[in-house]
């Protein structure tokens, strides 16, 4: 399995026989100057599963709907919030509400909740579980809002986390927000996540260009027997 960081909350996971891309916002270049998604990924022969957790413009670019014109074996799996936001349901898109499931010969997907809009995705590939959080996080904003309000935000997150923990005890890979805008406790949600659900590999999202801040989570992850995959640039790939 190979996983590649594209930008913001967008990752590509390449498995044997198919690939998955999550929350495409904008493309990035390969070392030879060609584009990672448009020149490489969309030209692969294998099936491609395109996930979108919600309609925020830094997670959803409707350019993805035109990929079907170039590649016939594309499968779209969106949070139902995308249909609600755009006002239409497209026939070639699978829309998932919280706790609903999609399954085919390659994978099983179960939608979970978010502490923003939309949802998150738990994917089973073979015997491995992969999680893309979308905007699920402990958005406590504790340095900006009253403590009682911050506690409500945190409790909402912990309820979503507990619901997922009842479904799966162990993840092979988690892609999860580590957003420095939250202030000094910006890694709190990620730490709560890996302390509640055993995770082999962890990749950060939603950190803009603040690689150093995102990578600071490596030491915390290690204390929970989780390997943090250190990022330094867009288009960076890991074989796991």
In this prediction, residue 88 carries a pLDDT of: 87
Q: Quick one: which of 163, 170, 178, 169 has its CA closest to 220?
A: 178
CA distances (Å), origin 148, targets 54, 117, 128, 154, 161: 27, 21, 38, 10, 20
In this prediction, residue 178 carries a pLDDT of: 98
The per-residue pLDDT for range 84-129, each reduced to its tens digit, is 999 989 999 999 999 999 999 999 999 999 999 999 999 999 999 9
The pLDDT mean for the chain works out to 97
Share of the chain above pLDDT 70, in %: 100
The per-residue pLDDT for range 126-180, each reduced to its tens digit, is 999 999 999 999 999 999 999 999 999 999 999 999 999 999 999 999 999 999 9
In this prediction, residue 232 carries a pLDDT of: 98
Written in H, E and C, the secondary structure of 154-213 is: HHHHHHHHHHHHCCCCEEEEEEEECCHHHCCCCCHHHHHHHHHCEEEEEEEECCCCCHHH
Q: Residue 214 is part of a domain; what is its CATH number?
A: 3.60.15.10
Segment 29-40 mean pLDDT: 95
Q: In this model, does residue 65 exceed pLDDT 90?
A: yes
**Number of domains making up the chain:** 1
Share of the chain above pLDDT 90, in %: 99
Angle between helices 188-196 and 147-165 (to 10 degrees): 30
Domain membership of residue 82 as a residue range: 2-239
- Res. 235 pLDDT band, cuts 50 70 90: very high
Q: Return d(Cα 98, Cα 94) in angstroms, integer.
A: 13
């Amino acid at each position: 399995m190979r996983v590649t960081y594209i930008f913001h909350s967008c990752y590509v996971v390449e498995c044997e026989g198919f690939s998955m891309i999550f929350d495409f916002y904008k493309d990035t270049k390969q070392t030879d100057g060609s584009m990672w998604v448009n020149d490489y990924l969309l030209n692969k022969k294998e099936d491609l599963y395109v996930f979108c957790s919600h309609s925020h413009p830094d997670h959803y670019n409707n350019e993805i709907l035109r990929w079907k014109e170039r590649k016939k074996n594309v499968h779209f799996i969106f949070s139902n919030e995308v249909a609600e936001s755009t006002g239409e349901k497209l026939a070639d898109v699978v829309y998932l509400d919280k706790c609903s499931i999609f399954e085919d010969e390659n994978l099983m997907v179960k939608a979970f909740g978010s502490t923003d809009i939309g949802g998150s995705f738990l994917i089973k590939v073979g015997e491995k579980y992969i999680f893309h959080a979308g905007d699920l996080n402990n958005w406590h904003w504790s340095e900006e809002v009253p403590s009682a309000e911050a506690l409500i935000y945190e409790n909402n997150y912990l309820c979503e986390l507990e619901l997922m923990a009842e479904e799966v005890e162990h993840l092979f890979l988690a892609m999860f927000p580590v957003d420095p805008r939250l202030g000094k406790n910006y890694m709190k949600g990620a730490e709560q996540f890996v302390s509640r659900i055993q995770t082999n590999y962890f990749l950060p999202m939603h950190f803009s260009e603040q690689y150093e801040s995102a990578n600071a989570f490596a030491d915390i992850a290690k204390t929970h027997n989780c390997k943090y995959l250190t990022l330094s640039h867009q288009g960076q790939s890991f074989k796991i």
